[in-house]
Amino acid sequence: MSTSPTPAFTATPVSFTEAELDRITYNADGLVGAIVQDATDGAVLMFAWMNAESLRRTLETGRTWFWSRSRQEFWCKGETSGDRQYVRAVHYDCDGDALLVTVDQEGAGACHTGNRSCFFRAFGADS
């Protein structure tokens, strides 16, 4: 009998067309901003950058792939931390220059600090 824990979520590819991909516009660095939102309760979890290849990987694998500007490499969210994101939908905005990625968030959350959301600090909290 296996002792491996049963994964809570399953990676499911998101269908797309090349015409849809062509509607995305990238900045001078070849990047588009991606907002990641929790499918369960609508919490905004994080904001990161994708290039054309990481967007395609995200759609094809059903996991979130970003481009690290500091490390200049692809990263698949949660591969190190275990806090993986399973993509349920990807929307793009009216200008095609921002993405909204709806996910099931595995583990403790999206933030490297241990907080569920990276947006855990509010203006006025110090007042």
Residues forming the site for a copy of itself (CB under 8 A): 14-17, 19-20, 23, 33, 35, 37, 41-44, 46-47, 59, 89-95, 98, 100, 111-113, 115, 118-127
DSSP string across 53-93: HHHHHHHHHSB-EEEETTTTEEEETTTTTS--EEEEEEEE-
Q: With contact defined as beta carbons under 8 Å apart, do 36 and 101 qualify? A: yes
CB of 35 to a copy of itself, least distance (A): 5
Select 7 or 120, whichever has its Cβ closest to a copy of itself.
120
CB of 46 to a copy of itself, least distance (A): 7
Q: Is 10 helix (H, G, I), strand (E, B) or coil?
A: coil
CB of 91 to a copy of itself, least distance (A): 4
